[in-house]
Structure 1
Amino acid sequence: MTKQKKRVNVASIVVMLALVSLIFTGCAKNTGTPEVTGTAAPTKQADASTPDEEKVLPPLKLEIMVPAFNTELPDSNSPVIKALEEYTNTEVHMQFVPNSSYPDKANITLVSGQLPHLMVLDRNSASYINAARSGAFWEIGSYLKDYPNLSMANEIILNNSSVDGKTYGIYRGRVLGRMGVTVNRDWLANVGMTAPTTMDEFYDMLKAFKENDPDQNGKNDTYGMVVTKYTGPWDIMQTWFGAPNKWGEDASGQLLPTHLFPEYREALTFFKKLYDEGLVNEDFAVMDPAAWSDPVISGKAGVIVDVADVSRRIDNSMQDKAKRDVPYTDVFQAPVGPNGHRDMPTSGYANLIAISKSSVKTEDDLKRVLKFLDQLGDPEMQLLLGYGIEGRHYELVDGHIKALTTAEDTSLIKEMESLNQILTFVGPAAPTIEMTTINKKIDEVQAANISIVVGNPAEPLISEVYAKQGQQMDNIIADARIQYIVGQIDDAGLDAAIELWKKNGGNEYIAEINELYAASK
């Protein structure tokens, strides 16, 4: 064959491929996918080093179970889900479960053995630990180095989220010093106060928010702090008093759980005082966490103790109702307690994403799932799943994210609601939200917290006793704390509950943790 003929054949092939491309482009316009205005959703470019056979693999079908924080949730026609599927070459079915019932649903799912490919799980739950040890999930520690983003996982956080030193899921990364005290900025000014720096000042602020008409409407219709059946605020404030973060060393160096320290009881005494004086909502033990910020947004309560960034979310909601240049909220570090300046850290992660062996059956399948998880760490996916589609849900201004949606844009918010729950934040940094006044303050608080957070020395230790009896033991203490705060039991009743905890596995739990602690040293 002559060189001229070869050139002709190549040209014919190029023309043919171009025609095929036009045909498929025309078909794609009739797929029924909703039209998306603004900048196109991210599309993953083909990797030149990827083998040809990998390029033509059919989409990977994935069922993913995650907690949801709203009732209006994306369906399969969501342009955000469509963009996720295109970027990762997958067909994704999201199984959303209300956050308030997620632990129960997770336990039922684990017991059933019918697991989705991926599911968010609490590493500390006995059901997850038992499932991991019985081989329900892939151990992925040795694979992480093979993926550009997953290989960036923090070794300390991997250890914290491990079971018996083995990695059965990729953690969902979080800021370590994330906690803060969110306050209604106007109320604080109206009662003539500044940010509380001591426990006495914190109490005085809550009391003023109830008694000094902070909203200046002439009515006695406000209170200090809103709490729900989510126990996080009590756990956080306990550390302010000097109680350990779950476990701490006593004078002899033995590890004990926080409820066996005198500082724990000092904290409960303070909580009871707040309750008795009406400075917290009396229905806290049954209030749905989904409605946690509502009393602050509606002007009934003035304080939330939680992650610092809740202040931004509350301010956004209040800005949606009445836009103004000055934030409605402010956020501060924990006040200094009787035993110094302390605060509760996160563990560096909020639950983890585990890969089921019953649904992901082969190592080749596992590698495709790991590639998917790895791609979720790309900045493009962090933006897509966290903020939606550029030009539709947000825009970039000077390299920062500015939301285009408000609380009234329910149909737009629905397209991306709770999809951020599959983000691991293991990978390179993505653009952040615009540096408004409140966002700068959040960053300052979180950075300052690093020097005052209190670690949990038992964090990586896995107890056999707890795996079997942990839920029952936790319930004993959690119920007793609520009963003490609302006055249903006194100190003698609290002592009785602690003795019941000890008899129902607590003593064995302490002994086992200390054996594991000694071995870890």
Structure 2
Amino acid sequence: MKGKTFVSLTTVAVLTAALAACSSGGKTATDTKSGDTNAPKTNKTYDIGFLNFAYTIFPDPNGKGVEAIKQKFGANIKSQFVLQSDYKEKLNVIMASGDMPDVVAIKDLDANYYKWAKQGAFLPLDDYIDKYATLKGVPKSIYDQFRVNGKIYSIPMYAPTYTFSGTIRQDWLDNLGLKMPTNYKELLDVAIAFTKNDPDKNGKNDTYGFALGEDVNPAPTMGAYWSTAWYHKDKDGNYIPGLISPGRKEAVETLAAAYKEGAVTKDFAVLNWAQTNKEFYSGKAGIFIGTPSGMVEEYYTGLLKVDPKAKVVPIPFFKAPDGSQGNLKGRGFFGLTTLSAKLKDDPDKVKKILEILDYGRQFLPLDQRTPQNQQFDWIMGGNGVGYEMIDGKAVPKAGQESSTPIQYMLQRHEFWKPWAPSDDANQFSKASYNSPEMQAFIASIEQMEKTSNKNPYDDPVNLVYSETKASKGSELDKYLLGEQTKMISGQRPIADWDKMIEEWKGRGGTQLMKEVNDGIKAAQK
């Protein structure tokens, strides 16, 4: 469950990530550098220009963290942090001037990224990847998402590949003697029972099944087969977008049947994301979504205040008609680091940049994120200065970001997320949340991912840049979501599904499918 359907969740994830700023780390308990063998053999101090986007944290360009990097690495980081909403315009101006800094963060894989790479603005990094542990550790499936003409021009900043799974009120299932649903027929039956059989046992008719908001968000996507991914193929063997797939049709049919029974948020078509969350976390609805990273803990603890007996658990992914069982994978990165092509004549400076970058990306297990770990303590600015230990966890000190070297280490700076060897290694349930109840809830999702996500799916559309998708993708998605909203609420019959698809194709969908499939075939050669 990702893509356009969940665009509104991005802001939520960014804001809640602040609660988990200390959720990742380096590698060993000694002050080693994985890139040492590749470091330039010189005592020269390098000036390194760095342009980055920021949401809430704007470190002082002359902060203590800069001096710490200079002393340790022999590099003077000359940074500039730009508000993310202004970043695209700022970057366009800088790139047009031909005066690109040594290192530039990329926020969006848009037309400009591909244009600049093709024009030779970025340094190809293929020859360096295997020389640095955290660069080599990036899966090929991630690098393939932003290759240009077969070359790698960027280093991705870590993000987990977890996406959303369904969640359900286990206490309501228990109260009604119901089993965990394993298919859409059973899920519909449970939703109706939650609506009509008083699952919270308060004697009132005040509960229902699916919490749903505008743009059919969140649709009950119980695996990649039913997701927005380009998973299915048409009769000619071409991939089709998930929003017009047979899996999506089954999910919409389920919601339409539930809506007739009062088992869906009545005014869902006009509810924003915050309002939709309230429907579930106020104790009204019994079916929603969850994910290990980026959840708002206060929402869950708020539900427990309303109903102390509430227990939310994940719904294991359904087994699809094709025999698969697993979820759509996230892209696995958020933000890219690019180097200026002008550095091609200064390989020692390139090595210095990658040495610093690699050091800041090294992963530390949760139990090593302590003052006793020299590497962790250094990048975080020192215990009592850049961070403090609270209940056994390292918590960044607000207002002291400029004292922490990691803020300037040539990558996404606000939420330190080094390159984890796996999603599970992050231990989000312990690292990112505080209350025992929330930790138990997230741990149950992590466990479900281990046992039920047997066939995680990489969306092939991520391998492709499509002009039509860039220019009209949101408009085309909006049309489908609007028509599906009508189908769920009974304003348009489900029997019009094929007609809706033809209408979508006429609006630009045919060209979109051609571009995407041509791109996938080219990428997979």
TM-score (norm 1): 0.66
Paired position in structure 1 for 2:14: none
The correspondence of residues 329-344 of structure 1 with structure 2, limited to 5 A, is 329-336=312-319, 340=323, 342-344=325-327
- 1:258 has 2:242 as partner: yes
Contact 2:230 2:241 in 1 (8 A): yes
Contact 1:157-1:348 at 8 Å conserved across structures = yes
What does the per-residue CA deviation read over 1:25-51, in whole Å, with 9 as the maximum and x for residues that have no partner?
xxxxxxxxxxxxxxxx99995868756
Tell me, yes or no, if structure 1 residue 432 matches structure 2 residue 420.
no
| Closer/same/farther in 2, CA of residues 164 and 251 from structure 1, 3 Å limit | same
- Letter aligned with residue 302 of structure 1: G
Q: Given the alignment, which residue of 477, 481, 494 partners 2:480?
A: 477
Post-superposition CA distance 1:125-147 (Å, at most 9, x none): 55654555455655433332333
Change (3 A) 1:274 1:93: farther
Mapped to 2, the partners of 1:467 and 1:287 lie a distance apart of: 27
Structure 1 position 454, deviation (Å): 4.0
CA contact (8 A) 1:182 1:310 kept: no
Q: CA deviation at 1:284?
A: 4.7
For 1:306 and 1:156, locate their aligned partners in 2 and report how far apart those are by CA, in whole Å.
25
Partner of 2:181: 196
Please list, as runs of the form range in 1=range in 2, the aligned pairs for 1:260-409 lying within 5 A after superposition. Answer: 260-282=244-266, 284=268, 287-289=271-273, 293-309=277-293, 313=297, 317-318=301-302, 328-336=311-319, 340=323, 342-355=325-338, 357=340, 369-379=353-363, 402=393
Aligned length: 456
Q: Which moved more, 1:415-424 or 1:128-137?
A: 415-424
Counterpart Cα distance in 1 of 2:235 and 2:44: 61
Per the alignment, do residues 323 and 273 of structure 1 end up closer, same or farther by CA in structure 2, a change over 3 Å counting?
A: closer
In 1, Cα distance between equivalents of 2:315 and 2:394: 24
Q: 2:451 aligns with which of 448, 451, 455?
A: 448
Contact 2:291/2:442 (8 A) holds in 1: no
Following the alignment from structure 1 to structure 2, what is the Cα–Cα distance between the partners of residues 438 and 188? 16
Structure 1 or 2, whichever has the larger Rg, is 1
Cα deviation per residue 1:400-437 (whole Å; 9 max; x = unaligned)? xx5879xxx99999x99996656352569977357664
1:121 aligns with 2:113: no
Amino acid across the alignment from 2:239 = L
- Cross-structure match for 1:15: none
Of residues 136-145 and 384-393 in structure 1, the stretch that sits farther from structure 2 once superposed is: 384-393
Rounded Cα–Cα distance in structure 1 between residues aligned with 2:189 and 2:400: 42
Equivalent AA in structure 1 for residue 52 of structure 2: I
How far has the Cα of 1:339 moved from its partner?
Answer: 5.5
Aligned to 2:509: 506
| Cα contact 2:40–2:352 (8 A) shared by 1 | no
Q: Tell whether 2:417 aligns with 1:423.
A: yes
Residues 219 and 170 (structure 1), Cα distance of their counterparts in 2 relative to 1, 3 Å cut: farther
Q: Deviations over 1:264-310 (max 9, x none)?
A: 33332223334444434355555554666444443333332243556
Q: Which amino acid aligns with 2:150?
A: G
Deviates more, 1:349-358 or 1:498-507: 349-358
Distance 1:118 1:423 in 2: 18
SS of the equivalent of 2:252 reads helix
Q: Give % identity.
A: 23
Aligned to 1:26: none
Distance change >3 Å, CA 294–CA 129, structure 1 → 2: farther
Cα offsets for 1:5-29 (capped at 9, x unmatched): xxxxxxxxxxxxxxxxxxxxxxxxx
Which consecutive unaligned segments of at least 5 residues does structure 1 have? 1-40
Residue 377 of structure 1 contacts residue 425 of structure 1 at CA under 8 Å; is this kept in 2?
yes
**Counterpart AA for 1:329:** V
Instruction: Map Cα deviations across residues 355-411 of structure 1 (whole Å, 9 max, x no partner).
Output: 3759999967765554443233123699579999878665686xxxx5879xxx999
- Pairwise CA distance, 1:172: 4.0
Question: Aligned partners of 1:120 and 1:230: how far apart in 2?
Answer: 28
